[in-house]
Amino acid sequence: MSVKTEAIGKEWPATTYEVGKEKIGEYARVVGLDNPVHFDREAAKAAGYRDVVAPPMFCVVYGAPALGPAMFDDEVGMNFAAMVHGGQEFEWGEPACVGDEITTTARCLEIYEKDGKGFYVFETRSVNQDGAEVAKGTWTNIVRGV
């Protein structure tokens, strides 16, 4: 058996996520962040933000809905039982604040085989309502025994 490569370059339908204040707070508390800019509107504004600002890694919250259909696509054909999340990169641009409508598009960058493992690399690009890029993600999943 070997990896299928037909899905390289495939792009999936964009998803849009509206950023909410309590969701930012929930995420920030779980990772132990206590900076008031993630909880308090006045503190965020005093620090120069339009509104309560999301922690950078909140990009997994608004980005994941776009990635789901890509990972479960039969054309990609990833074997979930043998999959691990191997690597992850994010680059951040404009901060994500409460009220932003963030649209994310997922694309398959690479599928290849190396040392008996399948590597599946996806990209997500997230832009806000003004068209400014807020985050770009590169997601690498590794499947053993392809």
- Binding stretches for other proteins (CB under 8 A): 23, 26-27, 29-33, 35, 37-38, 47, 53-57, 60-61, 64-65, 81, 84-92, 95
Q: What's the min distance (Å) between Cβ of 140 and other proteins? A: 8
Please, which residue, 73 or 94, has the CB nearer to other proteins? 94
Report, in Å, the least distance between residue 139 CB and other proteins.
Answer: 10
Tell me the closest approach of the beta carbon of residue 130 to other proteins, in angstroms: 16
Q: Which residue number, 4 or 49, has a Cβ lying nearer to other proteins?
A: 49
The smaller minimum CB distance to other proteins, of residues 6 and 82, is found at: 82
47 Cβ neighbours under 8 A, 6+ residues apart: 37, 53
DSSP label at residue 120: E
- By CB atoms closer than 10 A (0-12, 13-18, 19+), residue 5 is middle
Q: Which residues contact 123 (CB under 8 A, 6 or more apart)?
A: 106, 107, 108, 109, 136, 137, 138, 139
